[in-house]
Structure 1
Amino acid sequence: MTEADDVIIDGDLPDAPPAAAERSVSPHLAALGQKAKDYARNARAENTRRAYESDWRQFSSWLRRQGLPAEPPDPQIVGLYLAACADGKKGGASAVSVATLERRLSGICWRYRQLGEPLDTSDRHISTVLAGIRRAHGRPPVQKEAIFADDLRAMLAVLDNDLRGLRDKAMLAIGFAGGLRRSEIVGLDCGPDQTEDGSGWIEIFDRTTATTGDERAPSAATSDGGLLLTIDGKTGWREVEIGRGSSPATCPVAMLETWMRLGRITHGPLFRAITRKNGGVGAERLTDKHVARLVQRTALAAGVRGNLPEGERKLAFSGHSLRAGLASSAQIEEAHVQRHLGHASAEMTRRYQRKRDRFRVNLTKAAGL
């Protein structure tokens, strides 16, 4: 993006001669400026953008306390900030993890790029400090507990069969069977191009039979149908197929159909809030935080991982528990799981697999020992 583009996005025009400056901005250019800002805003997922904005606010607050300027970007100052975060603050706040620190640096870089003043993270004041922090404080990431099929059945059983319960059952089942992120669950619409804030839509297919073309010949294949999700996720657009289950009580598609029928959901957001006034279905889309709270609440109520201390159990589950549960439970080729989850690499998929057949490939014996 050029310097002129940056200025237009900010809503102004580049410096011009006095005669030109006196002319007002045309409605067409003003509309293009607003459209450009909208496109720039959509360059990042909403959750990522909120996180980056929070990172910048924390960095700006630290700069003000130290009496340091925010501009122009100074790698040495950023290196000092990283060291301060890694060591904690005098006020008693705990030090942040390496993963959080790397995310904060990404947020700072993102903000400086928006200002047209890129930050050079390869500068030794940043790269060397960050490498030292990783070496001193780095540790394996803390993973949330996975929700397996038996766990999910127990969680579904603790929910009521009112509208709220039927909605939550459908969310849990679809989230698990689709291996979806929590934002992908609540971002679903009933169809394409129905809302501006939607990030995907659904299509429900009935049982179908594919024939050979000869009416006398037996059918070539029979499908029970299912649910097709078209999702705009972190790695771009992907399609997710969710087949019908063996029992209506545990079938994600049947649960979704029940919720849509009784909730009269035919257009717009798929999962919506229940109104407090009359207990009916509202028009407002649920937030991704609802998914996290739902997983935590039902997992605790169902006694999932009851062997853990109570304090640990409260922190053991999140929206990603559903995604990790599918990745760990599906007994199929890893490539299928990777494609289903929308991962860019097989290594990322393996991070989600809490249990798998370790040592199935024995390189020691294969090498002759």
Structure 2
Amino acid sequence: MPKHPDEPTVPRAQDIALIERFIAHLTHERRLSEHTARAYRHDLLQIATWLAAQDQREVRSIERLDEAGIRRYTAWRHRQGVSGQTLQRELSSLRGFYRWLVRENQALANPAVGIRAPKSPRTLPHTLDADQLGALLEPVDDDPLGIRDTAMVELFYSSGLRLAELVSLDLGDLDLSEGELGVIGKGSKGRRVPVGRKARAAIERWLAVRPTLANRDERALFVSLRGGRIHPRTVEKRLERWALERGAGQHLHPHLLRHSFATHLLESSGDLRAVQELLGHANIGTTQIYTHLDFQHLAQVYDQAHPRARKKGSKPDEQP
């Protein structure tokens, strides 16, 4: 019989145990980041919760879920208004989960392989322009936490780092003399990225005061007030506060700085492959979203400057 509407639904214990075994595989064998493992867990528990709420005659373990069941789940999520991007991520989590089950001889096939989420309109990431960022970075902090926060913002923007990449940096990853940084990205893939002049200066200021905060023998480049490696959530909160104190007028987060890095670099160079390499994207299709941002910028220039684009009687803002 179906569950009573007021009765809370929780995943079956055996499903939770199986999911946790898979998460342990991701963290200990595949060495994926805590953030990635948390996303997998969230997606799989979401599916297991839905499965537990189904008619009792159809309830089965998540490891026995078939293609028809996955399609029903996808349709249910779509009716809830969940975006195609979120559904695609959940299906990706399922595909990874079943690949592991097949390897462990707990499933004969991967039922999620041929299922694709409905497409949804692609949203372009918001960015800050170079002048906005320059104005935010101009004030100089004197206290150690402010110096640290400025160094983090400069590094996010200078090198296009993900949040997980920045917090995992060790002192040994940094080569200021060469202006380079060794980064471990998604899938434990390493890459080297340049560190710009302004970011190097900000990091040097931070390294001068870092000993006043860092615990003895702490290897992390960025540390918290307690002296250990800084937590991702702490970075997010500090960036929000950092922007608020400077009158930014909008929410500042690590990915906004990464998007701004990619967009400004592509606008200046036009080299999509180089931007892909610097961002650590495995697929250039992921990087191509920035070509849309670049085109928006070019379209605005065209509308303002081209004789056939301007409205009759209007004049360009500036003569060549």
TM-score after normalising by structure 1: 0.62
Matched, 1:340 2:267: no
Kept after mapping to 2: 8 A contact 1:182/1:319: yes
Q: Percent identity?
A: 30
**1:332-360: CA deviations, max 9, x gaps?**
2413333222234544334236345637x
Correspondence for 1:178 among 153, 159, 172? 159
Structure 1 residue 121, shift from structure 2 partner: 2.6
Supply the AA of the counterpart residue of 1:274: L
- SS in structure 1 at match of 2:298: coil
Change (3 A) 1:293 1:142: farther
Structure 1 residue 301, shift from structure 2 partner: 4.5
Higher relative helix content? 2
For 2:71 and 2:286, locate their aligned partners in 1 and report how far apart those are by CA, in whole Å.
29
Structure 1 residue 109, shift from structure 2 partner: 2.3
Kept after mapping to 2: 8 A contact 1:273/1:285: yes
Kept after mapping to 1: 8 A contact 2:27/2:37: no
For 1:242 and 1:300, locate their aligned partners in 2 and report how far apart those are by CA, in whole Å.
26
Change (3 A) 1:80 1:343: same
**1:292-321: CA deviations, max 9, x gaps?**
3344444454444x5xxxxxx44xx43111
Change (3 A) 1:298 1:148: farther
Unaligned runs of 5+ in 2: 1-20, 303-320
For the aligned residue pairs, the C-alpha RMSD in angstroms reads 2.9
- SS in structure 2 at match of 1:231: strand
- SS in structure 1 at match of 2:51: helix
Matched, 1:268 2:219: yes
Structure 1 residue 267, shift from structure 2 partner: 5.0
Change (3 A) 1:113 1:81: same
Higher relative strand content? 1
Structure 1 residue 291, shift from structure 2 partner: 3.4
Counterparts of 1:88-237 in structure 2 under 5 Å?
88=80, 95-116=81-102, 117=107, 118-122=109-113, 126-127=115-116, 130=117, 133-134=118-119, 138-143=120-125, 145-157=126-138, 160-191=141-172, 201-205=173-177, 226-234=178-186, 236-237=189-190
Supply the AA of the counterpart residue of 2:157: F
Structure 1 residue 108, shift from structure 2 partner: 2.0
Kept after mapping to 2: 8 A contact 1:73/1:119: no
Aligned residues: 260
TM-score after normalising by structure 2: 0.71
Matched, 1:40 2:33: no
Unaligned runs of 5+ in 1: 1-9, 11-33, 89-94, 192-200, 206-225, 245-250, 276-281, 307-312, 363-369
Correspondence for 1:358 among 287, 298, 315? 298
- SS in structure 2 at match of 1:188: coil
Correspondence for 1:59 among 14, 37, 47? 47
- SS in structure 2 at match of 1:103: helix
